[in-house]
Amino acid sequence: MTTEDVQDFVTRLAAAFAALDGNAFLELWHPDGTLRTPLVDRPIKGSELAKLLDVQIASAPDFVWQLLDWTSRGDVVIVEWQTTRNVNGARFSWRGVDKFRIRDGKIAEEVVYSDTAPLRAFRSGEKLEPITKF
C-alpha cells in the first residue's frame, strides 16, 4: 500500500466512526474479513458486521471515537484510538489499538487490543485497583 492508500483508509475509517455510519464501515470491509475484539465473545465475520454495528450503536448511541495516531507497514495498518461514552450515568473513556490487515484496499482482518478491566470495573460499580502501587 502506498502512503496515500493508507491515509485514505485511515481517513475513511475515522469518518465512519465520527458519523457512526454502518454503511461506511461495511464499505471498508471484505465480506470474508474477520474481526477479533475482546468486547465480543467470538470472532465476527465481515458479513456479520451490520448486525454487530446495530447492536453497538443501540447500546451506546453517545459513543465517540477519536483517532490518536496511526502507522503502517506493507499491508498492515495500526491505529491508536480513544473512545468515550456514558456508562451507568457517568462519562467513561478508554484507549486501544487496532491492527488491520488490508487486502485490495479493504479490511481482511482486524484485531482489537484494549484493556477491558477499566470498563468491566466501571460497569459493575467496582473500584479499579492498580496491580502495582508505586
Q: Which domains does the chain have, with CATH numbers?
A: 3-124 (3.10.450.50)
pLDDT band at 80 (very low <50, low <70, confident <90, very high): very high
Grid cell 477499566 — which residue? Answer: 118
pLDDT at 124: 78
Judge whether residue 81 has pLDDT over 80: yes
Using one digit for the tens of pLDDT, what is the confidence trace for 64-76? 889 999 999 999 9
Flag whether the pTM goes above 0.85. Answer: yes
Q: How far apart are CA 78 and CA 73, in angstroms?
A: 9
Q: How far apart are CA 21 and CA 26, in angstroms?
A: 9
Of residues 56 and 79, which shows the higher confidence score?
Answer: 79
DSSP state letter for 89? T
DSSP state letter for 102? E
**Residue 79 exposed, middle or buried by CB count within 10 Å (0-12, 13-18, 19+):** buried
φ and ψ of 80, to 5 deg? -100, 135
Q: How far apart are CA 117 and CA 6, in angstroms?
A: 31
φ and ψ of 60, to 5 deg? -145, 70
pLDDT at 23: 81
Average per-residue pLDDT in the chain? 88
